[in-house]
Structure 1
C-alpha cells in the first residue's frame, strides 16, 4: 500500500455561502479494506484512489453520521417510496464506465445546475473513471437501477468489514417524482441488513441543508462528535447516538 498525504489550497465551500473549505487528502494505491474502514470511522470519504476529510479552521458544519442498520425501520414515507419503485430492477455489480452512464451523469448535473445552482462541468471519460471506477479494488460496487431496459440511476458504494459507505448517486431527472435519492439509500440499507453490516455511512450531513439535510431522516443514527486521530483506537467513544 502506497500513501501520499497532501493539502490542496483552500477554496470556497460548495455547500455554505461565505465559507472557505480546507481538506486533508491521502492518495492511496492498493488501499486495504481494513485501513479504509479505519479512515471511514474517523470521518474520511473516498473518491477513486483519493481519501479526504474536511479540516476547516472556521467551520464544523459538516458532520460524519452513520446509520445503525440493525435497528433501522422504514417510516411511512419510506414505505411509500419503496412501493412506488417496486417496478425498478436493481443490479449490484463492480464499477464500470459506459457511454450510457456518462450521458445520464451529464443530464443529472445539468438539471442540478438549474435546480440547486450547482456549478456545471461536463464530465470526461477519464474523470468518471478516476472518480468512480479506479480504487474500487475488492470493496467498491455500483448499483444500477433500470425500468425495463432504461437506466434511471447509478449509485456507488463501498462494502467493508461491518461497514458500508455510500459514495455518490445520480439519476434521471425525468423520474424525480419517484424520490430516487431516498430509494437509493433504502436499497443500500437493505443490502447492509442482508449482509449483517452494523453501520451505513451516507456521507457528510449538514443539519437543515437543502442537499445534505435529508440524511438524518434514516434513524437511528450516530454523529461523530470530534476529529479523532487516525491512530485513535477507541473510536466508539467519539460517536453520539441520535434515536429520535
Structure 2
C-alpha cells in the first residue's frame, strides 16, 4: 500500500454555503486495504477513486459524518412504498467500470442539478470519470446499475468493508424522479448491509436542516462522529441530541 498526504487550496468556494470557503485534507492511497479504508471511513473520510478526503474548514463544522445502525434499521411505510414502486427496476451490483451510457447520464444529471440547485456544471471527461469512480476499488469497491425497461436510470458507487457499507456517490435520470431513485439507492445498500450482517451504513456527510444534505437523517437510527480524530486516534460516535423534525 502506498500513501501520500495533501491538502486542498484553503480558499475553495463552499459547495453548500455561498458565503463560505472549504478546505479538505486528502490522502492519496494506491492499493488500499479493506481494513485501512474502513479505518479512514470510521474517522470521517470519504473515498473517490484513490483519494480519501475529509473537510478541515476553518470556522465551520456543519458537515457531520453520519452512520446508520443497520441492525436496528426497519423499513417505514414510506420506504415500503418506494420499494414497491421499484419492483420493475432492475438492480445489478458489479465492479466499477466506465461506459458512454454512464458518462451521458452523469452529464445529464449534473446539468439538471445546475439548474435546480445552482451546482457549478463542468463536463466530466472519461479520464476524470475513471479517476473518480473506477480507480482504487481494490477488493471492496462496487457499483450498482439501476435500469427500467432496459434503460440505465441510475448509478451508485459504494465500498463493502469489514463491518459496514460506505456509499460514495449516486446519480440518476430526473425523467424517472417519480421512482424516488435516490431513496431507493440508499435502501438498496442498507438492506444489502443487513443481509450481510454488517453493523453500519455510512451515507456521507450530513448537514442538519440543509436542503441538499439534510435528508440523511430520515434513515433511523443513526450516530454522528463527534470528534475529528487523526488516523491513529479513536473516533467517538454517539446518537445526536436532536434533529430537525
Question: What TM bracket, shorter-length normalisation?
Answer: over 0.9
Q: Aligned partners of 2:65, 2:175: CA distance in 1, in Å?
A: 31
Could you tell me which residue of structure 2 aligns to residue 51 of structure 1? 52
Could you tell me which residue of structure 1 aligns to residue 149 of structure 2? 148
Q: CA deviation at 1:148?
A: 2.1
Contact (CA 8 Å) 1:219, 1:242: kept in 2 or not?
no
SS in structure 1 of the partner of residue 239 of structure 2: strand
Query: How do residues 94-243 of structure 1 correspond to structure 2 at under 5 angstroms?
Result: 94-233=95-234, 235=235, 238-242=236-240
Which string of whole-angstrom CA distances, capped at 9 and with x for unpartnered residues, describes residues 150-177 of structure 1?
Answer: 1110000000100110000000110112
SS in structure 2 of the partner of residue 130 of structure 1: helix
For normalisation by structure 2, the TM-score amounts to 0.96
SS in structure 2 of the partner of residue 16 of structure 1: coil
Contact (CA 8 Å) 1:220, 1:242: kept in 2 or not?
no
SS in structure 2 of the partner of residue 154 of structure 1: strand
Q: Aligned partners of 2:240, 2:228: CA distance in 1, in Å?
A: 18
* Aligned structure 1 segments of 4 or more residues deviating by more than 4 angstroms: none
Equivalent pairs, count: 241
Q: CA deviation at 1:242?
A: 4.3
Could you tell me which residue of structure 2 aligns to residue 21 of structure 1? 22
Contact (CA 8 Å) 1:67, 1:199: kept in 2 or not?
yes
Could you tell me which residue of structure 2 aligns to residue 41 of structure 1? 42
Q: Aligned partners of 1:188, 1:130: CA distance in 2, in Å?
A: 23
Q: Aligned partners of 1:228, 1:126: CA distance in 2, in Å?
A: 33
SS in structure 2 of the partner of residue 142 of structure 1: strand
Q: Aligned partners of 2:99, 2:168: CA distance in 1, in Å?
A: 18
Contact (CA 8 Å) 1:13, 1:20: kept in 2 or not?
yes
CA RMSD of aligned residues (A): 1.1
For normalisation by structure 1, the TM-score amounts to 0.96
SS in structure 2 of the partner of residue 56 of structure 1: coil
Q: Aligned partners of 1:200, 1:65: CA distance in 2, in Å?
A: 9
Which string of whole-angstrom CA distances, capped at 9 and with x for unpartnered residues, describes residues 189-230 of structure 1?
Answer: 011011111000000000011111100100000000110121
SS in structure 2 of the partner of residue 204 of structure 1: strand
Which string of whole-angstrom CA distances, capped at 9 and with x for unpartnered residues, describes residues 69-91 of structure 1?
Answer: 11001112111111111110100
SS in structure 2 of the partner of residue 203 of structure 1: strand
Q: Which runs of 5+ in 1 are unaligned?
A: none
Matched, 1:83 2:84: yes
